[in-house]
A and B are shown apart, each in its own frame.
Chain A
């Protein structure tokens, strides 16, 4: 048993060393010229603006909720996929019915326009987005 854990330990140590060595080399040979632009938070090449602690649009929550519901249903697909071959056609039909019911739920969300991002005014914009007011487009 200790041998099993020993393997894991060696792997962990190796991992740390392999990351540490390049960092160390880079530190030793690269010239260090600090400037204001370089020290800024990297934001995909854009200039960072405003605080990250702003209130997020409530749309994120709705999308997250929808994702949560459909995501968890996958848990039933995995065991089914494992025994699918032995159970044959019956299992296929059963899972088809299950998925049809799920798709009815998706259709519901779709028609109710909960998948549309731009649906109402942006109320919580800050920073450079402060003045943006998107009117209802749907």
Chain B
């Protein structure tokens, strides 16, 4: 579609742009003590955007002369991103870490982050891929270092910006090689040119692929591009940690699925047909090995952590590994499984981090020692945290179990060459049982029991319920999620 026609289908992004500018200007007109108002601008704006997305035509088409794509798959990720942003924005009002600072920029930056994530979920052009990833990265750098008086937050920001700029530079070189091999930046044209490429170029292609994987792997914090994850997650404001562990990861998976299925495979899987890898580059094997390394390392290092926030950081690395397990199988079931897992992961991981925020507001700490006997002092927090830990381990009847179930069944239906991936995944789930239950043990079995009960503030209780209920409900009755994902499995695709 041409540029002017595209605008008609681009309303959600346009609304977000207006929301960002409004938030920026509103922030300039109010005092520091009232800067929470900007949060309202963002929340209301996101709700309007969600309505706009919901009412959008269910067409599949490309916009702006093949720069981005509009299809139910992208819409699914957009709604997921809005949901997580709304939850995080509401919790940000309650986060005591931010009290000393103006929150206006904070919410404005969250808005820009949403715009970048939207573009990530829908880009089909190397230029758009780079722009959207950079927009998301740059906003995350600032937000990670937002507590500018806190040295740990500064350090998180610096580490994030160095690793981020380095890996996006490497990815960019990969993209330029891909452009050099094919002469185009458009996914569909690249796909056709790659199919016609002779064997002599495959060394360059492998190099390009590995370099691009560095950029994508960095966004979903896959081994060996995960070095930033624990440090940034520990130093950043906890609300941002929660957000980074969910929304950019979801968009990262969206971009990976689209890129590998459309550029390095014939796109058949996305059209629900048999699919083949287009080149002799062994990319499914590479991703399989990375997935195994990611979850094993995440789980093994998580065991040794003393800080719950850092433990959850490594656990989110491990969860990226579980989702990556399904990528090597070129079938629509695996895309389906990853999407189901992302929905479940959103609720349980955000919930766990929100508990960390509540506890930090009260005790000022985030190590295991601060959680001693907490289950008796704050029974609601104890029960909810236990539920999230059960779910992150993947035990029934919780959402995490359903997510893992879909991933493993997609692997097994992919054929016998993927069984080993499923087995390693199973072993890893057992390892993770140890450190997740350590939290539960510390909360209920250690420390002295205090008789006085402490209630968390109403807003936090409400948000925790809003994440805990889905975690429990989707463990028993997961049809709504499955139906939603099923209806979203429509791609704009060009098969060969």
- By a beta-carbon cutoff of 8 Å, the part of chain A in contact with chain B is 90, 101, 104, 107-108, 111-112
Contacts and interface: CB of A to CB of B under 8 A. Distances in A.
Given A101-B21, A111-B28, 9 more contacts: A90-B4, A104-B21, A104-B24, A104-B25, A107-B25, A107-B28, A108-B24, A108-B28, A112-B28
Nearest to B102: A112
A107 to B, nearest CB: 7
Contacts of B4: 90
Contacts of B28: 107-108, 111-112
Q: Which 6 A-B pairs have the closest CB atoms?
A: A111-B28, A104-B21, A104-B24, A108-B24, A108-B28, A104-B25
Interface residues of B, number: 5
Interface in B1-34: 4, 21, 24-25, 28
Query: Which of A107, A108, A111 has the most chain B CB within a 10 Å cutoff?
Result: A108
Nearest to A105: B24
A108 B4 CA distance: 30
11 contacts: A90-B4, A101-B21, A104-B21, A104-B24, A104-B25, A107-B25, A107-B28, A108-B24, A108-B28, A111-B28, A112-B28
A126 to B, nearest CB: 27
Nearest to A97: B17
B365 to A, nearest CB: 34
Contacts of A108: 24, 28
A101 B21 CA distance: 8
Nearest to B27: A108
A61 B25 CA distance: 25
A107 B25 CA distance: 9
Nearest to B28: A111
A104 B4 CA distance: 24
A59 B98 CA distance: 26
A97 to B, nearest CB: 9
B26 to A, nearest CB: 12
A68 to B, nearest CB: 14
A87 to B, nearest CB: 10
Contacts of A104: 21, 24-25
Contacts of A111: 28
Interface in B340-381: none
A24 B28 CA distance: 62
A104 B21 CA distance: 8
Interface string B329-344: 0000000000000000
Contacts of A101: 21
Nearest to B21: A104
B1 to A, nearest CB: 15
Nearest to A90: B4
A54 B25 CA distance: 38
A42 B236 CA distance: 50
Nearest to B4: A90
A104 B24 CA distance: 8
A101 B20 CA distance: 10
Contacts of A112: 28
A108 B26 CA distance: 11
Nearest to A112: B28
Contacts of B21: 101, 104
Nearest to B105: A108
A120 to B, nearest CB: 15
Contacts of B25: 104, 107
Nearest to B104: A108
Contacts of A90: 4
Nearest to A100: B21
Contacts of A107: 25, 28
